[in-house]
Structure 1
Amino acid sequence: MIVITLSKVPMSLRGDLTKWCQEVQTGVYVGNFSARIRDLLWERITKSIGNGEATLIYSTNNELGYTFRTTRKDKQVINFDGLPFIKHLKNSPGSVKHGFSKAAKLHRAKKIQESKLSKVNSTSARQRLTGLVAIDLETTGLKPTNSEIISISAVKRINEQQVEKFNRYIKIESEVPVAIQKLTGLSNDFLNSEGESLEKVLEEFQVFIGNNVLVGYNLLFDQSFLNAAFIKANKQIISNRMIDLMPIIKKDQKFLDNYRLATVLKNYGIENDHPHKSISDAMATLDLALKLIKNDKLRI
């Protein structure tokens, strides 16, 4: 059995723990899982704890039958002949002494200067974000060798309040599978009515994205289809910098049930009114990229 106690921690961390433990009392979590999950959870706790405190108690093979870890600064876990004990510290590490030396004052002045510089860099970063483009495709299958693109969408960030949208459908000669029709709402009749040739759509797409950075979710899938399409149309493959958000999400959120786009968007509080519609997915992907940038998980 494993017991975790928390105090004054962010609500997001409490939410993470409820995926693995039961909150039997405010701030007290009980669970039963492997040592690997336990260590990953503790790593997650220590990274996300903010100014709060946490203590972990778990079963182990010693005379007491348990041991513990803590982030409390007024306590220290010490090992005495294989047994864990809590040492109460008179002066907790990192406690601030009143009065500051010249070195401390210089350090504080440096921090203020860095803060001002950070604001300047932040403005510069916002300028660089102008033109960021999120892309998404709908296809008739999973492999570009035997499937085709039926829609290409892109959303370009103009400024903090404005985006520009690109949404095109493509006429194809093969039949759209029934499962894909149900998923996307795109049929051969619709594509024949609203679609354009692959060559024309790729030309317009290339003009729209320009030299901007492209972001996507599971972008390798879209990239493989785009490369195959450009080759089929006897055009040069685009050379834009591409950033796949999926690996970043997997690193940032280690305990998600799965990494489907719908699950990820829900976790980050992003709405997608029309999933599996490429323009809607592209809009949601852009919002996801901007949130990752804001949280300093993605740098352009």
Structure 2
Amino acid sequence: MIVITLTKVPKSLRGDLTKWYQEIQTGVYVGNVSARIRDSLWDRIMKNIGHGEATMVYNTNNELGYQFRTTRKDHEVADFDGIPLMMHLNVSSGVVDHGFSNAAKFHKAKIMMKKRGHKAVQSEKTPIVAIDLETTGLDPTQDEIISIGAVKRVKGNQVDHFYKLIQSDRKIPKKIVELTHITSEMLVSKGASLSDGLQALRVFLGDLPVVGYNAHFDGLFLTNGFRKIDQSDLSNKVLDLMPMVKKSDKFLDNYRLQTVLNEYKIENKNPHNSLSDAEATFKLAIKLIENGVLKI
């Protein structure tokens, strides 16, 4: 049996632990895994605990039959003739944070504000285009593009929007209609030809770097679309945000776009609408730039 208690840790870490342990009370996890997995999970806790605290109790071969591990600075695990004891410390074992006068605090705050301001300026000036597609299915060789959405930064911090419905000769599958709210009738009455839609997209993008979420998927459809109209593929630099998020946020429950947007507190009012998804992707890219994860 293994018991882990967590306080003030990132939500992503709490979510990750539920894959192996049951959360029987807020911050209290109980499970029964191998020593190898137990040690591996403790290493992950140590790496991703942030400013929180963790304590683990687990079975072992000693007088009491159990052992402790903790990150608490006001306690220390002591060995008394083979018996583990949780010893309370009068003085925290953490490193003393020098410079705690008001003057030092103001100085520190000033430096942090400058850094944040610099990051904000960089994110505002970064030339970028976010793009998203809706399609009739998942196979780029068989299915077709039915809408294209894109958002780019223009002068100052303003953004410009691009949205096109694309005509299709085939009937839109019912599940796609339910997901995107795009019908065959809409494409007939409001849709542009694939050629006109892709040519307009090329003009909108210019030579700016393009970001997308799971950009490889959209890229295959665009490549196949340009091939259909006998045009060269886009030459823009393409950056996929999904692997960046996976690397920087290792403990999300999954990496679907909506899950990631929730983690970054980005609202997407109309999921599975290419323009709305492109706007959300654009905001995600800005967040990643500010966090130093995305560099263009």
Instruction: Choose from 104, 124, 134 the match for 2:130.
Output: 134
Task: Please state if 1:276 is matched with 2:272.
Answer: yes
Change in CA separation of 1:215 and 1:147 when aligned onto 2, cut-off 3 Å: same
State the secondary structure of the residue aligned to 2:131: strand
Give 1:122's aligned residue: 119
Asked whether the equivalents of residues 125 and 157 of structure 2 are also in contact (C-alpha less than 8 Å), the reply is no
2:232 match = 236
Equivalenced residue count is 287
Shift of 1:23: 5.7
Measured in 2, the distance between the counterparts of 1:265 and 1:124 equals 22
Question: Whose RCO is larger (CA < 8 A, sep 6+)?
Answer: 2
Q: Structure 2: any 5+ residue segments left out of the alignment? A: 100-107
Any conservation in 2 of the 1:227–1:237 contact (CA below 8 Å)? yes
The 1:38/1:264 distance shift into structure 2, 3 A limit, reads farther
| Secondary structure class of the residue paired with 2:170 | coil
For residues 68-217 of structure 1, the aligned pairs below 5 Å read 68-73=68-73, 75-77=75-77, 84=84, 92=93, 94-95=95-96, 118=115, 122=119, 125-129=122-126, 131-158=127-154, 162-217=158-213
Question: Given that residues 181 and 187 in structure 1 are in contact (C-alpha distance below 8 angstroms), is that contact kept between their aligned partners in structure 2?
Answer: yes
Root-mean-square deviation (CA), in Å? 3.6
- Contact preservation (8 Å) 2:24, 2:30: no
Contact 2:12 2:253 in 1 (8 A): no
Quote the residue 1:64 is aligned against.
Answer: 64
Deviations 1:35-66 (A, max 9, x none): 56645653454344444432222234545332
Name the CA distance, whole Å, in 1 between partners of 2:85 and 2:194: 70
Identity %: 47
CA offset digits 1:224-272 (Å, max 9, x no partner) = 1111111222222112222222222323333433322223323332222
Task: Determine the structure 2 residue equivalent to 1:30.
Answer: 29
The one-letter code of the counterpart of 2:276 is: S
Q: TM-score, normalised by structure 2?
A: 0.79
The DSSP-based 3-state class of the residue aligned with 1:222 is helix
CA contact (8 A) 1:13 1:49 kept: no
The match for 1:258 among 254, 260, 264 is 254
Instruction: Give the 3-state SS of the residue equivalent to 2:223 in structure 1.
Output: helix
Is 1:54 paired with 2:51?
Answer: no
1:99-134 Cα offsets, whole Å, 9 max, x none, are xxxxxxxxxxxx9998698468536623542x3111
Secondary structure of 2:142 counterpart: coil
The structure-2 alpha-carbon separation of the partners of 1:159 and 1:268, relative to structure 1 and needing over 3 Å to count, comes to farther
- Structure 1 position 71, deviation (Å): 1.9
Query: Given residue 32 of structure 1, which amino acid in structure 2 is its aligned partner?
Result: G
- Return the alpha-carbon distance in structure 1 between the equivalents of residues 82 and 15 of structure 2: 32
Contact 1:17–1:29 (CA under 8 A) maintained in structure 2: no
Q: 2: CA distance between counterparts of 1:252 and 1:184?
A: 30
Give 3-state SS (helix, strand or coil) of 1:211's partner: coil
Greater shift in the superposed pair: 40-49 or 243-252: 40-49
One-letter code aligned to 2:96: S
- Contact 1:206-1:238 at 8 Å conserved across structures: yes
Corresponding residue SS for 1:275: coil
SS in 2 for 1:3: strand
Stretches of structure 1 lacking an aligned partner (at least 5 in a row): 99-110
1:61-102 C-alpha deviation (Å, 9 max, x unpaired): 54533222222345554678876555777783633579xxxx
